[in-house]
Amino acid sequence: LGTGARGSDIKVAENAQCDETLLGHILKIETKISESGLLLQSIKSYSKGHRNPQGLKIIADRLLSVEHGPRHGDEVNQIKLNGNYGWPKFSHGIPYDTDIAVKTFRNVGQYISPIFHFTPSIGISDLAACPFTEDIIYSNCILVSSMKDASYYILKIESDKSQLNIVSAERLYLGDRIRKILSKKKYNLF
């Protein structure tokens, strides 16, 4: 589950860097049924430093998220356990409020850069694996939907052992806001 810490109030945004709150975090929720039939839950922070996560999927055995940046800088992130994705300290976007001094990512050691970002913003909303196709051009890709841009994108990916890398982006304009994108056919990645 992704929670946001967006807004122009720096006190709200700083929650994304705080370990005492779950705002601006991706959460791992574990449930199990006890012998007495009670549902037991454990909620833990999986990663932090998120502004406004939208879609969250496991694709090719990796946890991926799409996230709204501030005034540009929408992100596609590969989420790593205990990873810190930088908000509100670092972003590819421009702050709405000058009280939040956001710097551009420059592979700062403690923060994880997105695997892809959209500048200008597309109003990113969701992601899915591409349906399987025999056409090599559209194998190993993910679909990303947008609201503001009224399009979806095919992001071609390459993978090394631990990291996905976006090598190209193809825009397909539909003319309507797209909140959710589903891939119902089998997919084949790597």
One-letter amino acid at 28 equals K
**CA atoms of 101 and 133, how far apart (whole Å):** 45
Model's pTM, two decimal places?
0.86
C-alpha distances (whole Å) from 104 to each of 93, 100, 142, 186 are 7, 13, 25, 38
Q: What is the DSSP letter of 11?
A: H
Per-10-residue mean pLDDT of the chain, 190 residues long, equals 83 91 94 86 94 90 91 92 92 67 59 92 92 69 94 89 88 94 66
Q: What was the pLDDT predicted at 188?
A: 55
Sequence-distant (6+) residues with CB within 8 A of 127 are 55, 57, 59, 64, 65, 66, 76, 142, 143, 144, 145, 181
Query: Rounded to an integer, what is the distance from CA 69 to the centroid of its chain?
Result: 10
